[in-house]
Amino acid sequence: MRKRVLVTGGAGFLGSHLCEQLLERGHDVLCVDNYFTGTKDNIAHLLDNPYFEVMRHDVTFPLYVEVNEIYNLACPASPVHYQFDPVQTTKTSVHGAINMLGLAKRVRAKIFQASTSEVYGDPDVHPQTEDYHGNVNTIGPRACYDEGKRCAETLFFDYHRQHKVDIRVARIFNTYGPRMLPNDGRVVSNFIMQALQNQPITIFGDGSQTRSFCYVDDLIRGFLGMMDAPSEVTGPMNLGNPGEFTIKQLAEKVVEMTGSKSEISYHPLPQDDPTQRCPNISAAKKHLDWEPKVALNEGLVKTVAFFEDLLRRNT
């Protein structure tokens, strides 16, 4: 059945891949974005599709549309961008969640929330399981994002309990792939752009901190699987690739893969930067039969190809 699906943040990195997949499945997609970190380039190839519609709108304001499903992705995800206007970041997560939940309640739509591994803060349980309550500094520079996303989770579960809204909350771990912004500030795009231009690779701290990197196609398959799951599968559910790497290992991989002449340069570690992050994905395996299929090397090759193409077109 063709569903009318709203994707907030649909012109962003993950949102544009999601819109693409939903259209591929035959749905009618309404993409809502204020273009803070999203771009029209990300969705330009979809505009010819009569079942794709775009609306410039900020989710901190009410939105009255008639849809069957909502994916709430609107929120800058890179530390550089979410710390640029931290008050707006919290408003986007909190007011955005209230508005989208109010909409879901009114039209009885199923609603998915793009939450984050950042709700675990700098975790002292490793790998992170969904029952771990996290270790977030409420007043640090990352709090606008972390606490905004935590409050959004609270709102999702309260609308579920109080108003019987059908919710799906995914805790997304670091995801990478084509259509990340070249100046996004996140580690994968930074390292690849630096390597391709033979500029120094900027490692923050000593590079011993870890992250687990999920390729975008795997993640989007997880989103769709979660939305299709029975309504008791509310989450919160970790979605990510359990392969864990130090940032130094990532830098070395990218340099080797691109045959770059870049040297590594070390810079101060930003405040509250988590020292380790790795998802326990047993819940997603059990309830969605989901696990990532794309290994880091394979995903990096595709991402490097995207940035190479971008550089070629811009020179």
Q: Which residues does the annotation mark as catalytic? A: 145
* Per-residue interface string for the shown chain with ligand UDP, residues 39-68, x marking contact by CB under 6 A: -----------------------xxx----
Contacts with ligand NAD in 171-210 (CB under 6 A)?
172, 174-175
Q: Which of 23, 54, 98, 310 binds ligand UDP (CB under 6 A)?
A: 98
- Cβ atoms of residues 51 and 28 within 8 Å: yes
Phi-psi region of 10 (alpha: psi -120 to 50; beta: other; left: phi over 0): alpha
Binding string, residues 263-282; x marks residues near ligand UDP by CB under 6 A: -------x--x---------
Task: Tell me which stretch binds ligand NAD (CB under 6 A): 9-17, 99-107, 227-235, 250-258.
Answer: 9-17
The CB-of-109 to ligand UDP minimum distance in angstroms stands at 9
Q: 5 is written with which tokens? A: 């699906």
Stretch touching ligand NAD by CB under 6 A, among 68-76, 122-130, 246-254, 269-277: 68-76
How many residues of this chain interact with ligand UDP, rule: CB under 6 A? 23
**CB nearest ligand UDP: which residue?**
102
The residues binding ligand UDP (CB under 6 A) are 62-64, 78-79, 98-99, 102-103, 105-106, 174, 186-187, 190, 202-204, 209, 211, 247, 270, 273
